[in-house]
Chain A
Amino acid sequence: MSQVIFLKGLMLGVALAFILPILLPPGRRWRVPGGIVLGLGLGLGIAALVPSGYLSYFIGFMTMASIYAILSLGLNTQWGYTGHLNFGVAGFFAVGAFTSALFTIEAPTGLAAQYTQVLFGLKMPFVVGVMAAAVVSGAVAFLVAVPVLRLRLDFLAIATIGVAEIIRLIFQNERWLANGPQPLRGIPQPGRCLFETRHCEWVPDSLAWIIEPLSTRDYTAFYLMIVAGCLALVYVVLERACRSPWGRMLRAVRDEETSAAMSGKNVPFARVQAFVVGAVIMGIAGALYAHYTVAIDYSHFHALFATFLVWIMLMLGGSGNHRGAIVGAILVWGVWAGTAFLANALEPLLAAIHQDLPGRAQYIRWLLVSLLLAAVVLFRPKGLLPEEMRVSRYVPDPKRR
């Protein structure tokens, strides 16, 4: 096994070691250590056995699936736990992405400034960008929440669609803000210098030989590690929060608003809290997305990709269940990516039906995904992993009685 493959396998292994413990069935003692060992082993094994083209496809797939999993977790806080019908995920996703981009990008000067206009470019580190994305997205959510959360459930859905559309329009039209309709390019990637021929200044010379053979091509594995780490962190924080009295309060507000209020809970404030927390997580996902794709523009935040897919993920996985949200994200992203191959395979058939159809094969995936959502709604509205209604492990499990 060459050094490059070992390093790539290690990075992939760390990423899988973040994700696998989440996916394994909970309540077992071996869950976390088993998941970590399995993840590391799987990462090294995949890197050793799979050809590098497929490997980078797999890494890209897992990165996007993890970003969607974070979005889905954010939506789960809003919809799954509190019952906010937020059809405007795309808006908070976009706010997070553009905020982080603006905080980390270097403001162009001279000739470049004519082509790329930004409100500011602070050239801050990646971590600051992600945190700023979380804060700004949360602030936007708070501003939206105050007038809108008092409304009926269905009005909230309509209003959030509107909010997302307006946020998209702003990024589309306002050139001074984030280069308007043109893509905002050159978003820096954290730790990319490790993979360039001239290494980061902070890497001591004595250790430089370890990363010497890596090239910028291999960077995606490193970024997957970061995204998977963020996913694991968000999962743990949310899982702790939702199993705490706070999470029980949210569920009480969702199911029995009156009795929650009678127990002295501030219902409107609890609803705002959940909405803002969900938006903060969506903002983080947006930041991770911006640094992954390097160039973003308003068209990335179309309702289909950034709202509709997330809803299918959560509904399929199981609303009110964090593990379900992540499983759903990986499955649906698998369907979405898999239908691209399906479209290729169907091409001769489509060409036989009509000559224009092969060029439109990409829309077959829309069709399949929308049918998937309809099927979930009709036949399995609780999702694959339904919400656990048990609030404590010391309460007897109603299912086992």
Chain B
Amino acid sequence: MPDNQPHQSQPQLPADERRLGERVRGVIRTRGFLMATLVAILVAMYLAGLATGASAQRLLALTAWGLMLGGIIALGSIGLTLIYGVMKFPNFSHGALVTLGAYVAYTLIPLLPTGEVLRPLSFGYEFLIALVLAMPVVGVVAMAIDRVVYRRLRNTGAHLVLFAMASLAMAFFVQSMIYLIWGPDFHFYYPGRPNPALYLPFGIRVRADQLFILLLALVLVAMMYVLLEWTRMGKAMRATADNPHLAQIRGINTERVIAWTWVLGGGLAAAGGIMYGLSSQLRPEMGFWLLLPMFAATIMGGIGNPYGALSAALMIGIAHQVSTSFLDPTYGPAVAFVLMVVTLLIRPQGLLGRTER
């Protein structure tokens, strides 16, 4: 029920007559309190970094790198949150789609004519073309999996758990296909190609590729915004996420909406995977490693809310990088996890989720 509907029959009690515990709980559940807590955790991380001897300049650089990582996580989690919102189940195979995107681009790049290297970036036009081609490929794969597996479950009205289990099975299916086709070794898009860091103001050193990653993430998010807010399909998607039955009654072909959601989600996941592969290297496990941060961003931002996922992903990226100043870097997923649990404890519907009654 919407919040703004006036309750005429039951006059609301004045706030003061509620018990103290309820009032405290009411305050804790607010968006502002969650935001304040998360910011406090971030600040505590910076202080911990300073206390262990990291210079302010290094923390600033870590923040910049965290924004790039956040961009990668955001690309994955926007697709994840859309699928979660429309289909109402956590898609555990999203990490595998991320990996698949990176490897599809890896296969496409040598097939394309090699262009001149776009200095100061480390790649040429062929990389951009591979990116644009790999996105629909992974999107179609995601849609095909939906047609074969999830649609059958939808038609039988299966419980959420079976969807989750099927997506876990598909995660391992896609991952084993990746192992079979590309093998377990590490790969690079451009092995041995130098990519010197740029010197930015305040002594921040970042590679041009990293700036490109952040820029691409922002462009894709802007395109998502246009799609969701200004097109019929975007409206249909939001309506289906809100209430699938009502959407059907209003003449929305929900199966088509679902298919497009998979294409979009898969495509964005592929973009995230390619960016991740560009910033480090390609491994068959890379998507599984990103799965936890992606889910954390999805839940922190509020399920079904792409803007929430974006802001949460950037926050997770920063927290992840800043934590390396005082923690072993491999604990990155744990940092995301802690932020997620804090969110779930304070406000399970997330930062931008609707206030439930």
Contact = CB atoms under 8 A, between A and B. Distances in A.
A360 interface: yes
B173 interface: yes
Contact of B153 (A152, A162, A378): A378
A371 B149 CA distance: 11
B45 interface: no
Interface size class of A (residues with CB under 8 A): 35 or more
Contacts of B147: none
B158 A381 contact: yes
B334 A169 contact: yes
Nearest to A312: B169
Q: Which of B168, B173, B291 has the most CB of A within 10 A?
A: B168
Interface string A154-189: 110111011101100100110000000000000000
A301 interface: no
Interface stretch (B33-41, B174-182, B215-223, B242-250): B174-182
Contacts of B124: none
B333 A87 contact: no
B90 A157 contact: yes
A364 interface: yes
A367 B170 CA distance: 9
B279 to A, nearest CB: 21
A311 interface: yes
A148 B342 CA distance: 10
A373 B168 contact: yes
A370 B164 CA distance: 13
A173 B333 CA distance: 13
A308 B172 contact: yes
A370 B348 contact: no
Nearest to A377: B166
Interface string A376-393: 011001000000000000
A157 B164 contact: yes
Contact of B169 (A87, A172, A374): A374
B172 A370 contact: yes
Contacts of A370: 169-173, 176
Contacts of A172: 330
Interface in B113-167: 149, 152-153, 158, 160-162, 164-166
B106 to A, nearest CB: 15
B170 A374 contact: yes
B50 interface: no
B319 interface: no
B176 A363 contact: yes
B312 to A, nearest CB: 14
Given A151-B348, A159-B344, A311 B168 contact: yes
Contacts of A360: 179-180, 183-184
A154 B164 contact: yes
B173 A371 contact: yes
A125 B165 CA distance: 39
Interface of B: 89-90, 92, 149, 152-153, 158, 160-162, 164-166, 168-173, 175-177, 179-180, 183-184, 288, 291-292, 295-296, 299, 328, 330-331, 333-334, 337, 340-341, 344-345, 348
Given A87-B168, A157-B90, 18 more contacts: A147-B341, A147-B345, A148-B344, A152-B348, A159-B340, A161-B295, A162-B296, A162-B334, A162-B337, A162-B340, A162-B341, A166-B333, A169-B334, A303-B288, A308-B172, A360-B179, A370-B169, A374-B169
Interface of A: 85, 87, 147-148, 151-155, 157-159, 161-163, 165-166, 169, 172-173, 303-304, 308, 311, 315, 356-357, 359-360, 363-364, 366-367, 369-371, 373-374, 377-378, 381
Q: Which 4 A-B pairs have the closest CB atoms?
A: A366-B176, A373-B169, A370-B172, A363-B179
